[in-house]
Amino acid sequence: MHRGPVILVGAGKAAAAMARAAATVAQPRSGIVIVPHDQPGPAPERVEILHGAHPVPDAAGKSATARLVALVETATANTLVLVLLSGGGSSLLASPAHGITLADKQAVTAALLASGADITALNTVRRHCSTVKGGGLLRAARHAGAVWTLLLSDVVDGDPATIASGPTAADPTTYADALHVLRRWLAPEAVPPRVRARLESGAAGALPETVKPGDPLLERTRLEVLADNRSAVTAAAEAARRAGFEPLVLSEALEGDAAAAGRRVAGRLMEGPTDRAVAVIAGGETTVRAVAGGRGGRSQHLALAAAVALDGQDGVVLAAGTDGSDGPTDAAGACVDGGTVTRAGASGFDVAAALAATDSHPVLVATDDLVRTGPTGTNVADLVVALRPAC
C-alpha cells in the first residue's frame, strides 16, 4: 500500500483507457500518457494526454516522451510512479539514444517492419537505440520511492521486456543481439550508419548496457500483466460456445508467416467434426515480409490466404487486430468465406498474385470482406476465429 503522492505515466494504444481506470483509484498528483494520433479520448483529472505516431515514431512522440521523462524525474522518495503500458508503446515512447537521430530510428523501424522480423527482434534493436526503453524509464525514476507497472500484453509470451520495449523491465538482450537482428533481417545498406555505429560501439563495451536482471533499480519496481492474448482467445471461445459452436482452441499461438497461419486455421476448420457447428479459435502475432508497393496488414494477409484454402467450402474466417488496426490501413482485419476467391475473380483480381505481392487490401475492398472497427482502446495482439456449421 502506498500513501504518498502518485505520478501516473503511460504509453500505448490502451494507455488512455487504462489511465482513466487507474486514476479513479490512484488519484494521481499529475500525469502524462502518450497515445496514437487517432485516439483523442477524454483525459482523467490531472493527467494530460499527448500524442505520437505508430508504428513508426514521429517528432510529436519524441516531444511527448521528453515531457513524460521530465515528469518522472521529479519523483522523490515518497512518490509512487505508476506506469501504464500497452501495445504501441515502443513507437510512442520515442527518445533516440545519443548519436542517433529521429530519422535514423524511423528508418530502421520501417525497414525492420517491412522485413518480416517479429516483435521480439524489432524491440531488441529498439531497446538499444533508446534512452527510455530497456529499463531506461526506471533509471529516470531512480529517485522515486517505488515504480509500479501495469501492462496489457500485445506479445505472445507476455514478456514485460518486450511489451513497449520494457521501459521499466530488465532487458536480457545485448548490443551484440541487436547487431545480430540487423544482420539477419536487413541488407547492410538498409541500416542507418549512426545506428550501426552505436550498436557496434555498445557491443565492443564502449557504451553502458540496458538495465539487466539483478540491477538494484529492480528492487523498487513491480510489474503486473493485467491481460494478454490468451484472455482474448478465452473470451472468444466462450462467446462461440454461447452462440452454439463447439470451440476448438489452438494450443499453439500463431506466429511466423501470416499466409501459412491462415492456411493452418482453415485446414483445421475443415478437419473438424462434421456433426456439429465448430469454431476454431487462435491468437498471436504473425509476420509478413512486405513487397514494395503492397498494401495490407498481417491479419488481412492471413485472411486472404485462408480464403484460398476455404474456396468453395462452407466456412468463415475472421482475422483482426484487437486494437482495431491492421498495418497501414483503415481496417482491423478481414472476414472471408468460401466465396471470397470467386468474388475477387469477378472483380478482376488474381488472389495468388495479390498474396505474392503482399497486396491483400485492394482485393478485400473489392470482395467487401474488410472489418473496420476504428481504434478499440485496447491491444492484446491478433485474434482469429473460424466458423463452420454442422454438415
Please tell me the distance from the alpha carbon of residue 61 to that of residue 90, in angstroms, as a whole number.
Answer: 10
pLDDT tens by residue, the chain, 391 residues: 677 999 999 999 999 999 999 999 999 999 999 999 988 778 899 999 999 999 999 999 999 999 999 999 999 999 999 999 999 999 999 999 999 999 999 999 999 999 989 999 999 999 999 999 999 999 999 999 999 999 999 988 889 999 999 999 999 999 999 999 999 999 999 999 999 999 999 999 999 999 999 999 999 999 999 999 999 999 999 999 999 999 999 999 999 999 999 999 999 999 988 999 999 999 999 999 999 999 999 999 999 999 999 999 999 999 999 999 999 999 999 999 999 999 999 999 999 999 999 999 999 999 999 999 999 989 999 999 999 999 8
Main-chain dihedrals φ then ψ at residue 364, nearest 5 degrees: -75, -25
The CATH label, of 3.40.50.450, 3.30.2270.10, 3.40.50.10180, 3.40.50.970, for the domain at 6-227 is 3.40.50.10180
Give the SS3 label for residue 68: helix
| pLDDT at residue number 23 | 95
Q: How far is CA 172 from CA 177, 200, 321, in A?
A: 10, 18, 28
Q: What is the pLDDT of residue 64?
A: 98
pLDDT at 41: 74
- Domain at 229-388: CATH code: 3.40.1480.10
How far apart are the C-alpha atoms of 43 and 386, rounded to whole Å? 37
Cα(114)–Cα(130) distance, rounded to whole angstroms?
21
pLDDT for the residue numbered 391: 80
CB atoms < 10 A from the CB of 226, how many? Answer: 15
Extended beta strands in the chain, E state? 6-11, 30-36, 47-52, 80-85, 146-152, 221-227, 246-249, 278-284, 316-321, 333-337, 370-371, 382-388
Closest CA to 146 of 6, 332, 250, 346: 6
Common-topology check for domains 6-227 and 229-388: no
Tell me the angle at which helices 119-127 and 175-185 cross, rounded to the nearest 10 degrees. Answer: 130
CA angle, residues 71, 75, 79, in degrees to nearest 5? 130
Q: Label the pairing between strands 278-284 and 333-337.
A: unpaired
The pLDDT assigned to 1 comes to: 65
Nearest to 136 by CA among 159, 165, 107, 158: 165
Q: 386 pairs with which residues across the strands?
A: 280, 317
Task: Provide the pLDDT for residue 236.
Answer: 98
pTM: 0.89
Cβ(112)–Cβ(122) below 8 Å: yes
| Single-letter code of the amino acid located at 249 | V
Cβ count within 10 A of residue 314 = 14
- C-beta separation of 163 from 149 below 8 A: no
Peptide bond into 55 cis (omega under 30): yes
Q: Which helix (H) or strand (E) holds 184?
A: helix 175-185
How much is the pLDDT for 294? 95
Look up residue 287 and give its DSSP letter: B
Closest CA to 327 of 281, 380, 283, 288: 288
Alpha-carbon distance values, 367 to 92, 99, 258, 266, 344 (Å): 34, 48, 20, 18, 6
Place of cell 514478456: 159
Domain boundaries, the chain: 6-227, 229-388
Cβ atoms of residues 165 and 86 within 8 Å: no
